[in-house]
Chain A
Amino acid sequence: MSQETIDILIVDDQVGIRRLLFEALADEGYLVKMAGSGAEALKILSCTLPALVLLDMKMPGMTGYETLQEIRKHYGPLNVIMMTAYGDVEIMAQTKDLGVRHYLNKPFDLDEVRVLVKGLLAEVSSLQLFQQDIS
């Protein structure tokens, strides 16, 4: 975890959403990277591991769910927030099984995103501190 260079990876095929989240979260001082597809996201992840991934559910090509499966296979318990425009119960239940705890229903409130991201990253950093303490 020590060689990480970014805090958050945004994965969405919609350029507007990517841009919005980038601006909003970069303003908060996080290091943010963007990916326009699941494949691109996995490529970035292979180089650098963020503390949090914001992953859109419905994307052309590799879907959010498939991307999530790959992430779990290669990177274990990475923090993932799923974003959906449907609020689809069934897919949500599936991703829940893959350890996703947080969802953002589009259109989301930016303040809500900020609070959620801040909370999760604080959790991650406290965990890191705890792990460092142990080591």
Chain B
Amino acid sequence: MILLNTTPSKGYLVTVAITQLLFFFMLALHFYLRLNGVDSVLNLPIASMHFIVIAILCGSLILGIYSFVLIYQLSKINSLLKYEIKERQQAESILRQLTDNMLDIIYKTSLHGDIVYISPSQKFLLGYENQELIDQKFFKLLHSDDVESVVNLFHESIKNKTAYRQEFRFKCKDGNFKWLEATVNHLSDPKGSVVGSVFCCREITWRKQLENAQALERQRLFSLLDSLPAFVLLIQKDHSIKFMNKYFLEHFGPFYGRSCFEALASKDYPCEVCIIAEVFESKTPKSFEFADYKGRTYEILAYPFFDVDGTTLVLELGIDITDRKQLQKELIRMDRLNLIGEMAAGIGHEIRNPMTTVRGFLQMIASKEQSKDYREYYKLMIEELDRANTIITEYLNVAKTKEADKKVQNINDIINSILPLLVADAIKDDKYINVQMEKVPNLLLDDKEIRQIILNLVRNGLDAMQPGQYLTIRTYLENDCVALAVQDEGEGINPEVLDKIGTPFFTTKDTGTGLGLSVCYGIANRHNAELTIESDEKGTTVSCHFKTELGES
């Protein structure tokens, strides 16, 4: 470092110059004194003078030689210095190029957070001129939500003399904020005392956007899973549940880690119909139908699923098909009824015509004088023909395709009009009829058909009861519907039988046609009403719900 100082070298040069001058002066004086023959100078004998001059000459010579040595050394040092300076200048320029061209930003701040240096790259990222930021408070340029955490870290790094990483939003010149990721570290002077802080920042706005987009996508996926109208499960080989969506959670409860059969079937062993073991083995999708412990039917699709950690799971998608199955059943029933209706209409005409002829001639012959002994037989034959005709009528009623003859009227009036007939029917077998009619709005009804449905339901109820029991006919309002309910005190319907009820020709009675309830279903359908049967050992209730809008339209 001392070699860098040029002052001593100047001193050496002056010394060398003076020594040279003195040397030449003394040499000149020596020859002058010799040539002019001077004997005494300054009262000294000339010999002494020569001695002095020679001594001085010698001294000067030694000094001169020394000076030359020094000068040689100095010039050597000088060239070394020049080389070093050049190297430093080069290094500095590389450093400047680096700081100027890198995209990261370096802030140097004082202990108070004032910006004392900022790398030029900030202009490219943030848009400020460098001098605009110098002496500004670093923290004032942060997003208000981030100030506290950054200030804390700043102080921590100064206090602990360690580096920290932090993400924060920095205000650009145009007022927008950009996400920066920074390493905050303390800055010391050569003596080791902390003088400030340095922030090495890198822009991560795009990364943050990506992270946000990912979070959003993840959220979307979850809400998609949660809004599915089906349950989604991830099941492990031991039947334990690893994931469930909201649908499952709401319908079965939080069974995380517990088994699927416990949740779905309320059992402590796997269900018979379960095929997830097969899916694990074959790694191919399979599906099956499953009834949960609440009695709802699900179509379950089971797919092999490879978890992020590579383990194989089964993804189960369960769709509630209870209503669909019910509807399908209903459709099959309607199809059957329609087929019967068409058949009945087709053959009805062909059978009724000959029946008319036969019946007519029987009636004619019966009235003749000659056949008075056989009148009873004729009467019986005519009755049998009429019975046959009733069956045809029932068939035709099963599925009338034509619109019923509907009028706005009250169902209670229709019940009242048919009640004496029903009561007479019941009394005959020592059974009783209760009527509980609430005030209900008018409906668009075909009175003939409604009479038919009441008659069929009441007769079914009466047939199911023992003498002395009561049958109840009720009308009431329920969920915007007018309900007609016929409740008997019979033994109830066997569950196997209950499934087949309403199927045309299905009957448990010795003399039944198996069409009574089919007719009721047909009538209910034409009135846009719903027929439901509830049965237990205390009796059976058949209810027909008519939508009230019908009456208002």
Contact = CB atoms under 8 A, between A and B. Distances in A.
Co-assembled chains A and B: yes
A7 B385 CA distance: 31
B364 A85 contact: no
A107 B388 CA distance: 11
A16 B357 contact: yes
B383 to A, nearest CB: 12
Given A86-B348, A110-B363, A110-B364, A17 B402 contact: no
Contact of A106 (B345, B352, B396): B352
A85 B353 CA distance: 7
Interface string A100-133: 0000001111110000000000000000000000
A87 B349 CA distance: 10
A90 interface: yes
B364 A20 contact: yes
Nearest to A110: B363
Interface in B340-391: 345, 348-349, 352-361, 363-364, 385-386, 389
A107 B364 contact: no
A116 B352 CA distance: 20
Contacts of B396: 86-87
Contacts of A19: 357
B368 to A, nearest CB: 10
A85 B349 contact: yes
Nearest to A56: B353
B-side interface size class: 20 to 34
B213 to A, nearest CB: 65
B359 A107 contact: yes
A89 interface: yes
A24 B364 contact: yes
A21 B353 CA distance: 12
From DSSP, what is the main secondary structure of chain A's interface residues? helix
Contacts of A4: none
Contacts of B309: none
Given A107-B385, A109-B363, A86 B345 contact: yes
The CB with the most chain A CB atoms within 10 A, among B348, B352, B361, B389, is that of B352
B405 interface: yes
Interface string B87-101: 000000000000000
A86 B402 CA distance: 12
Interface residues of A, number: 22
Interface string B492-534: 0000000000000000000000000000000000000000000
Contacts of A108: 356, 360
A109 B355 CA distance: 11
B402 A106 contact: no
Nearest to B345: A86
Contacts of B364: 20, 23-24, 27, 110
B363 A17 contact: no
Given A20-B364, A107-B389, A58 B355 contact: no
Nearest to B362: A110
A107 B356 contact: yes
Given A85-B352, A86-B349, A14 B402 contact: no
Interface in A33-66: 58
A97 interface: no
B236 to A, nearest CB: 64
B348 to A, nearest CB: 6
A36 to B, nearest CB: 13
Given A86-B396, A89-B402, A106 B353 contact: yes
B389 A88 contact: no
Contacts of B360: 17, 20-21, 24, 107-108, 110
Contacts of B352: 85, 106-107
A17 B353 CA distance: 7
Contacts of A109: 359, 363
Contacts of B402: 88-90
B311 to A, nearest CB: 68
Given A85-B353, A86-B348, A20 B361 contact: yes
B22 to A, nearest CB: 152
Contacts of B358: 16
A100 to B, nearest CB: 17
The CB with the most chain B CB atoms within 10 A, among A19, A27, A87, is that of A87
Contacts of B385: 107
Q: Which 4 A-B pairs have the closest CB atoms?
A: A16-B357, A20-B360, A107-B356, A85-B352
Interface of A: 14, 16-17, 19-21, 23-24, 27, 58, 85-90, 106-111
10 contacts: A14-B357, A16-B356, A19-B357, A20-B356, A23-B364, A85-B348, A86-B349, A86-B396, A106-B353, A110-B364
Given A16-B357, A89-B405, A108-B356, 18 more contacts: A14-B353, A14-B357, A16-B354, A17-B356, A17-B357, A17-B360, A20-B361, A27-B364, A85-B348, A85-B353, A86-B348, A88-B402, A106-B352, A106-B353, A106-B355, A107-B355, A107-B385, A111-B363
